[in-house]
């Protein structure tokens, strides 16, 4: 659900109808659920303050509105996907129509479960979810944490839905902000590395389009090997290295450039920013 003059991002839900607010992560979740057949597009109701924020949902065949309260009156599973500083105003608007039937899910970075519960009626069933953009191709990494009043059945319902968008795990709330830095922001970090890989090949004479395709496929294949074979990255890295070979020379160059420390610092910075947004 969205409120305020800013474009909020919105999204998906569950039976009998889905509700939310419109944009990148929520749009990715909606598209992932619809593609997987978990929900029908006409059972998704998205709200945003302007038509521009709803174009993607209309293209998917979802219902749309500019009224946040209409979403709660029509849907049982509600996903709040506003900016963190906008969320309190949205919750204040919809609080009068929140009932025991609602499952309330927040995608807002840094906004704790305790804050959400303070802003909503007593005993509201609240959960926090941290998704990632690859949900749009059903390969997202998603973590979720439940509030004090959300039961196991509500949690399992949400997890079952979100598994259509990729890997979904319930975690302690303390991990949510870390996940934002690792996976939410990590998509941009990985894209930067993919771009750099391709540009290295371009520098050496490979055509741009081919270089970018090979770089992306290399990331995809490596990720699948790590997940499917259950190997630690260090083991796979060791398997690729041969004494005096090309890989160890390349790894030496990466270490000289500080890749490992810079990546760790990027995740730390993004995590700290997520916590900072919550405090604000």
Cα–Cα distance, 61 to 42 (Å, whole number): 6
As beta bridge partners, residue 65 has 47
Quick one: 241 exposed, middle or buried, by C-beta within 10 A (0-12, 13-18, 19+)?
A: middle
**Alpha-carbon distances of 262 from 54, 120, 189, 258, rounded to whole Å:** 37, 40, 10, 6
Q: Is residue 102 within 8 Å of 44, Cβ to Cβ?
A: no
CA dist 85 and 117 (Å) reads 16
Binding residue per annotation — 84?
Answer: yes
CA angle 37, 46, 78 (to 5 degrees): 80
- Determine whether the annotation assigns residue 270 to a binding site: no
> Cβ–Cβ contacts within 10 Å for residue 229, how many?
9
Rounded CA separation 252/181 (Å):
26
Strands 125-130 and 140-146: antiparallel
Peptide bond into 16 cis (omega under 30): yes
User: Does 83 count as an annotated binding residue?
Assistant: yes
**Residue 47 near residue 62 (C-beta atoms within 8 A):** no
Q: Which residues pair with 19 in a beta bridge?
A: 78
Where is the binding site, in residues? Answer: 68, 81-84
Where is the binding site for NADPH, in residues? Answer: 68
Where is the binding site for NADP(+), in residues? Answer: 81-84
């Amino acid at each position: 659900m969205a409120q305020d003059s800013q474009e909020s991002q919105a999204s998906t839900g569950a039976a009998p109808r889905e509700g939310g607010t419109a944009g990148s992560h929520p749009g990715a979740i909606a598209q992932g659920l619809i593609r997987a057949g978990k929900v029908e597009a006409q059972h998704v109701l998205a709200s945003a303050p302007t038509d521009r924020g709803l174009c993607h949902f209309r293209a998917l065949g979802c219902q749309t509105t500019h009224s946040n309260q209409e979403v709660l009156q029509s849907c049982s599973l509600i996903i709040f996907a506003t900016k963190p500083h906008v969320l309190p105003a949205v919750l204040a608007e919809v609080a009068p129509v929140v009932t025991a039937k609602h499952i309330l899910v927040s995608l807002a970075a840094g906004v704790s479960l305790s804050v959400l519960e303070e802003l909503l009626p007593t005993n509201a069933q609240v959960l926090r979810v941290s998704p990632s953009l690859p949900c749009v191709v059903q390969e997202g990494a998603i973590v979720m944490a439940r509030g004090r009043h959300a039961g196991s059945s509500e949690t399992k319902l949400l997890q079952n839905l979100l598994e259509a968008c990729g890997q979904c795990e319930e975690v302690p709330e303390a991990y949510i902000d870390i996940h934002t830095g690792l996976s939410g922001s990590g998509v941009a970090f990985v894209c930067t590395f993919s771009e750099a890989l391709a540009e290295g090949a371009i520098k050496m004479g490979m055509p741009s389009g081919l270089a970018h395709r090979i770089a992306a496929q290399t990331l995809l294949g490596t990720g699948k090997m790590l997940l499917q074979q259950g190997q630690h990255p260090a083991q796979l890295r060791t398997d690729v290295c041969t004494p005096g070979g090309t890989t160890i020379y390349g790894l030496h160059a990466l270490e000289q450039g500080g890749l490992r420390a810079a990546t760790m610092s990027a995740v730390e910075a993004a995590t700290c920013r997520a916590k900072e947004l919550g405090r604000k």
